[in-house]
A and B are shown apart, each in its own frame.
Chain A
Amino acid sequence: MSRKIYFMVLTLLVLTFYPNPAYAMHIMEGFLPLPWAIFWAVITLPFLIYGLKSIKDTVEENPGFKMLLAFAGAFAFVLSALKIPSVTGSSSHPTGVGLGAILFGPTVMTVIGVIILLFQALLLAHGGITTLGANTFSMAVVGPLVSYGIYKGAQKAGLPRGLAVFFGAALGDLATYVTTSIQLAAAYPDPTGGIAASLTKFVGVFALTQVPLAVSEGLLTVVAVNFLVSHNKSDLLALSVIKREG
Chain B
Amino acid sequence: MFKIDHFAYTNRLKAVHPAEKFGFAMITLSLCVGLNSLPVSVATLTIMSFAVVVLAGTPWRFYVKLLTLPLGFLLMGIVAVVFSVSSVAAGYLWGFHLAGVYVGVTEDSLYFAVQLFFKVLGAVSCLYFLALTTPLTDILQVLRKLRVPPLFLELMMLIYRFIFVLLETAGRIHLSQSSRWGYATITASYRSLAGLIANLFARAYWRSQVSFHALLSRGYTGRLEVLESDYRLSWKNITVITAVDMLLAVFGLYGRGII
Contacts and interface: CB of A to CB of B under 8 A. Distances in A.
B106 interface: yes
Which secondary structure dominates chain A's binding surface?
helix
Nearest to A118: B156
Nearest to B213: A64
B193 interface: yes
Contacts of B20: none
Contacts of B156: 115, 118
Interface stretch (A16-24, A136-144, A146-154, A170-178): A16-24
A67 to B, nearest CB: 4
Given A29-B127, A52-B151, A68 B193 contact: no
B99 interface: yes
B221 to A, nearest CB: 8
A30 B125 CA distance: 10
Interface-central residue, A13, A70, A201, A225, by most chain B CB under 10 Å = A70
Given A3-B98, A70-B158, A30 B208 contact: no
Number of chain A interface residues as a range: 35 or more
A160 interface: no
B237 interface: no
Interface string A109-134: 00110011011011111101110000
Contacts of B2: 123-124
Contact of A220 (B86, B139, B194, B204): B194
Contact of A34 (B30, B69, B70, B136): B30
A28 B190 CA distance: 29
Contacts of B98: 2-3, 6
9 contacts: A2-B96, A30-B33, A67-B209, A85-B190, A115-B152, A128-B127, A191-B84, A192-B86, A197-B84
Interface of A: 2-3, 6, 10, 13-14, 17-20, 24, 26-34, 37, 52, 55-56, 59, 63-64, 66-75, 77-79, 81-82, 84-85, 87, 99, 103, 111-112, 115-116, 118-119, 121-126, 128-130, 184, 188, 190-193, 197-198, 200-202, 205-206, 219-220, 223-228, 231-232, 235, 239
